[in-house]
Amino acid sequence: MAEAHSTLLLQVKGVHKRFGDNVVLSGADLDVPRGSLVTVLGRSGTGKSVFLKCLADIMPADAGEVLFDGKPLGTADPATRAEFRRRCSFLFQSNALFDSLTALENVRLPLEQTSDLSDAEIQERSLEALRQLELEKYLLSYPSQMSGGMQKRLALARAIVTQPELVLFDEPTAGLDPIRRNAVFLMIAKYQRQFGFTAVIVTHDVLEAMAASDRVALLDQGRMHFQGTPKEFAHSTDAVVASFRDSAAALGTALASLRGGGTLSVED
Amino acid sequence: MISFLGRQTLTLVHGLGDFALFTLRSFQAVFGSRRMLRRIARAGFEQGVRCLPVILIVGMFTGLVLGLQGYYVLNRFGSESLLGALVSLSLVRELGPVLAALMLVGQAGSALAAELGIQRNSEQIAALETMGVNSLGYLITPRLIAALVVYPMQTALFVTVGLWGGSLSGSLLLGVQPGVYWSAVERAVASQDVNECFIKAATFGLITIALCCYHGFNTHRNRGASGARGVSASTTRAVVQSSILVLAADYVITSFLV
């Protein structure tokens, strides 16, 4: 799959970010081929969301470069940045839906504020996005009246209504049970193929990421420790990759040892 | 001690500069924003129609009390016929703009600061920015423009209701002839007083709504308070600082216009 998309839509080179004395990113790199679904894995608190916000140009990196379609964003003029924002959508972990607007108004908003479309065209495109995400029955519902899964779909409808080339997903499955987690990954993979956008997802759900992604990256101690296909990730013998990938198996082994009368250290 | 004073002064100057830039950028954003009229109308509804009951009630009671107090003071000098002049000049020059602004800060300003604070905490403002929408133009500009229109209107309403309140207590309860009361009002209030009233109302509207927007919009910059406490701190700061600024600005404007 990766070979089929040799052109990189997004390229991250040596991004650094620190908050006071806390160094979060220390030279993180990432290559995102056009049309692919790339997942960035990492433990909680390793700076995955900060990395994604640096990519989305909503948090300035201290050093390093983010290239979108070959153009650097950090030193770009306002017009290039506006062009990037028009071609990129960001899905927040919290969905960030406007709670005082209905589902339809939420989806209409980016088109109303950033496009020159007529009111009829905006309505048509918004209704189409909601229909494709199977939310046509909830046009006048407020986000608070929807379930978590529906809110996620509404956020995705709002993200795709502008027909972006790149969609960034910040922990889209955080706090969901395994069945809903699978459903969200399936939804992202389905719409990514249907609409043809490039997707970058940050998550710590290893199995789902390996099943749904074209490429997988592992962020560890501020750097991208691994980048490759899910197959390469599955067969990697690197200790950091293996400990993250095989954490469930390691837990089973440790628990078996405990049941057999052994001792278990929390650090294990 | 000196270094502490220096730090506080620098913080104050930095804060004032930041606030001035925030207000300026919000007005600049009017040029790039779309569908502004609809959002100004919505902001006008929030600041105007929703605050109407409190303006009417407080205006009426202010007029009633002014009529009552004024009558007994003027009665000592046998000048009850000047009750209309006392009530009208007090309301038009000072009490109308100041009290209406304080009521609007309590009702619309606090709600605005809390709403923006929650929008900041729930990443709705960040979401606007990722969409390429100017968050100042979308959230702040319509409210500032609405305040410039709504505050003078609310103040005019406050003064009118207050005059009727004064008439009610003076004429109906205490025996001043209605004709005497209203002719004193007509003779006392000059167009300069009305201009002063509207200048004050528009200035207070701009200052208070900008300050409430500033604190709500920058909730995430609160030191030592985040989440719900951050919103609460922003709202409190917005209301307290707005109320103080209304009184300070009142003194400054009056000293220039008197």
CA separation for the pair A248, A246 (Å, rounded) = 6
pLDDT recorded at residue A111: 93
B42 — contact with chain A (CB < 8 Å)?
A: no
With a cut of 90, say whether residue A171 has pLDDT above it: no
- Antiparallel, parallel or unpaired: β A166-170 and A8-19: unpaired
Q: Which stretch of DSSP H or E encloses residue B107?
A: none
B38 — contact with chain A (CB < 8 Å)?
A: no
Closest CA of chain B from A91, distance in Å: 8
Structural tokens at position B212 = 């409430």
Residue type, A266: V
Q: Which of A89, A93, A113 has the most B C-beta neighbours within 10 Å, making it the best mutation to test the interface with B?
A: A113
CA separation for the pair B220, B225 (Å, rounded) = 9
CA separation for the pair A162, B127 (Å, rounded) = 14
CB atoms within 10 A of CB B92: 25
Structural tokens at position A140 = 């006048």
B221 — contact with chain A (CB < 8 Å)?
A: no
CA separation for the pair A81, B232 (Å, rounded) = 34
pLDDT recorded at residue B54: 94
With a cut of 60, say whether residue A266 has pLDDT above it: no
pLDDT recorded at residue A2: 42
pLDDT band at A179 (very low <50, low <70, confident <90, very high): confident
Long-range contacts of A50-53 (CB under 8 A, 24+ apart): A50/A17, A50/A24, A50/A25, A51/A12, A51/A15, A51/A17, A51/A25, A51/A202, A51/A219, A52/A90, A52/A168, A52/A170, A52/A200, A52/A202, A53/A170
With a cut of 70, say whether residue A265 has pLDDT above it: no
CA separation for the pair A118, A140 (Å, rounded) = 21
Closest CA to B149 of B111, B104, B110: B104
Q: Do A92 and B127 touch (CB under 8 A)?
A: yes
Higher pLDDT, B210 or A81: B210
pLDDT recorded at residue A5: 43
Q: Evaluate whether B134 touches A117 at the Cβ level (below 8 Å).
A: no
3-state secondary structure of A137: helix
Q: Evaluate whether B63 touches B46 at the Cβ level (below 8 Å).
A: no
What tens digit of pLDDT does each residue of B50-77 get? Answer: 899 999 999 999 999 999 999 999 989 8
Q: Once rounded to an integer, what is the mean pLDDT over residues A169-193?
A: 82
Ordered by start, the domain boundaries in chain A are 2-254
pLDDT recorded at residue A268: 40
pLDDT recorded at residue B202: 96
Q: Once rounded to an integer, what is the mean pLDDT over residues A242-246?
A: 82
Cα→Cα distances A157→A35, A109, A122, A203, A246, Å: 19, 11, 13, 20, 34
Q: Interior CA angle at B67 toward B63 and B73, to 5°?
A: 140
With a cut of 70, say whether residue A252 has pLDDT above it: no
B1 — contact with chain A (CB < 8 Å)?
A: no
Query: Residue B122 is nearest to which of A86, A96, A114, comparing CB atoms?
Result: A96
CA separation for the pair A64, A12 (Å, rounded) = 8
pLDDT recorded at residue B128: 92
With a cut of 80, say whether residue A177 has pLDDT above it: no
Q: Do B123 and A96 touch (CB under 8 A)?
A: yes
Can you give the length of chain B in residues? 258
* Chain B residues closer than 8 Å to A94 by CB: 122-123
The class (CATH top level) of A2-254 is alpha beta
With a cut of 50, say whether residue A267 has pLDDT above it: no
Relative orientation angle of helices B52-76 and B96-104, to the nearest 10 degrees: 150
* Chain A residues closer than 8 Å to B138 by CB: 113
Closest CA of chain B from A97, distance in Å: 6
Question: In chain B, which stretches have pLDDT less than 70?
Answer: none
Considering only CB atoms, which residues of chain A are within 8 Å of chain B? 56, 58, 82, 85-86, 88-90, 92, 94, 96-99, 109-110, 112-114, 162
Closest CA to A135 of A118, A149, A120: A149
Closest CA of chain A from B126, distance in Å: 7
B124 — contact with chain A (CB < 8 Å)?
A: yes
pLDDT recorded at residue B113: 96
With a cut of 70, say whether residue A228 has pLDDT above it: yes
Instruction: Give chain A's mean pLDDT.
Output: 86
pLDDT recorded at residue A130: 92
Q: What is the ipTM of this complex?
A: 0.78
Instruction: Return phi, psi of residue A57, to 5°.
Output: 65, 25
* Chain A residues closer than 8 Å to B33 by CB: 113
pLDDT recorded at residue A3: 44
Q: Do A90 and B138 touch (CB under 8 A)?
A: no
With a cut of 50, say whether residue A217 has pLDDT above it: yes
Q: Do A85 and B126 touch (CB under 8 A)?
A: no
